[in-house]
Every structure is written in structure tokens, then in C-alpha cells.
Amino acid sequence: MNKILEQKRRTSLRKFTLKTDRIIVETKSLRKNEKYEVMLEHLGSNISYKADSVILGKIFFYICLAIPLALTIAVLSGAEIERSTLVVNYIIWFGLAIVNYIKLPQDDVFLLGGQVFLVFYRTIPNEQEVLDYLNEIIALSKTYMREKYAKADPDIPHDLFFTRLNWLKDKDIITEAEYHEIKKEYDLKKLL
């Protein structure tokens, strides 16, 4: 299984490749490139959002554009403003507008609750596709953990097996009914 989610946002790239037991994460930006693997058992199942408010940024952007425009109108209507003052103001305000435009607000989704957390762009390619991909990771992770740690193997010591089983139940990887079913199966195999 190789399910890929690729997210491009201007000069940044986040690429996630989901395999049967791990996820490969690649991030690229102007500053750095990273590639690493995360085992599914190290991931959690909690989804969290974090987004910056874009209203203040938009207001500031339009103010940065309005001030040079107002200065230009003032000069055209006859106000006496020194050329150097005008140039400095143009540079400052247009520079701030460009910086404001380039700096994108944070709009991320986090997969939390494990030893490692993953960060996804919330709306790239679209929010539903990202949430579907996260739910697929969570489901695959739970299946992987269930298969790895919930096998009723009589060779595993009793205390260790039930510690694992309780941990799986506490993490909502197995239900209460599955817990009792696996426990019965383990006890039966232990008797044989």
C-alpha cells in the first residue's frame, strides 16, 4: 500500500506516503529539506486545528497600500512633500505590503496523541481530502497496532500480554468487547 498526499503551498511542499506499517514524510522549503519515516505505532489518533486570523493581516495589507496611494494623491493635488520623504515612504509601505503578502497565515491540521505528531496543510488540496487521509492513517494505525499487540500468543507472559491489552483498550484501539474476546482466546490458548 502506497497512498500519497502531496501538498504544495507556494515554495513549500509536504509529501506523505502511507505504507502498511509506516508513513514517510518529506518536507521541502526554501530554507530546508527533510525526509523521515514514522512508524504507525508512534502516531496518535487526535486531530487538532491551528489557524491564524487573516482579517488583521488583510486590513494591514490594505493600509500598507492605501498610505502610498494617499501620498500620491496628495502630491498630485498640490501638496508639497519632499521627494526623498515620498520615496522612503513608498519603499517602507510597499515593502511591508510585499512582506505581508508573502507571509502566509498558518492554517494547519495536526495529528496528535502519539510519540510523534504530523502537520498537514488544512485546505490543500481541500479540507475533506486531508481529513479523509488523516482518518485513513488513524484506521491503518489502529489495525496495525491491533494485529501487532493483540494476538493471543500463549508464549507471551501473562502480565505483559494484559499490560498490552489494557494499553490498547485505553488508547481506543480495541473495544471493551474485543478486549474480553481476546482475553478469553488468550486464556484458552494458555490452557492448551
Task: Name residue, grid cell 502537520.
Answer: 119
Quote the pLDDT of residue 182: 87
C-alpha cell at 16: 506523505
Residue 96 has a CB neighbour count (10 Å cut-off) of 16
Count of helix runs (H) and strand runs (E) in the chain: 5, 7
Residue 190 pLDDT > 80: no
78-109 pLDDT, tens digit per residue, is: 888 888 999 999 999 999 998 888 887 788 99
Q: Which helix (H) or strand (E) holds 6?
A: strand 3-9
Closest CA to 72 of 53, 55, 57, 94: 94
Q: How far apart are CA 3 and CA 19, in angstroms?
A: 7
> Is 172 or 33 the better-scoring residue by pLDDT?
33
Percent of the chain with pLDDT over 70: 99
Contact (CB, 8 A) for 24 and 17: yes
Q: How far apart are CA 62 and CA 97, in angstroms?
A: 8
With the CA atoms of 138, 140, 146 and 148 taken in that order, what torsion angle do they form, in degrees rounded to the nearest 10? Answer: -120
Tally the C-alpha atoms within 13 A of residue 20's C-alpha that lie toward its C-beta: 3
Residue 167 pLDDT > 90: no
Task: Give the mean pLDDT of the chain.
Answer: 88
Residue 66 pLDDT > 90: yes
125-149 pLDDT, tens digit per residue, is: 888 999 999 999 999 998 888 888 8
Mean pLDDT of 162-180: 87
1-27 pLDDT, tens digit per residue, is: 689 999 998 888 999 999 989 999 999
Mean pLDDT of 186-191: 81
Q: How far apart are CA 85 and CA 68, in angstroms?
A: 11
Quote the pLDDT of residue 91: 94
Quote the pLDDT of residue 164: 86
Collapsing DSSP states into helix, strand and coil, what is residue 41?
A: helix
Quote the pLDDT of residue 145: 87
Label residue 63 by pLDDT band (50, 70, 90). very high
Boundaries of every domain in the chain? 55-102
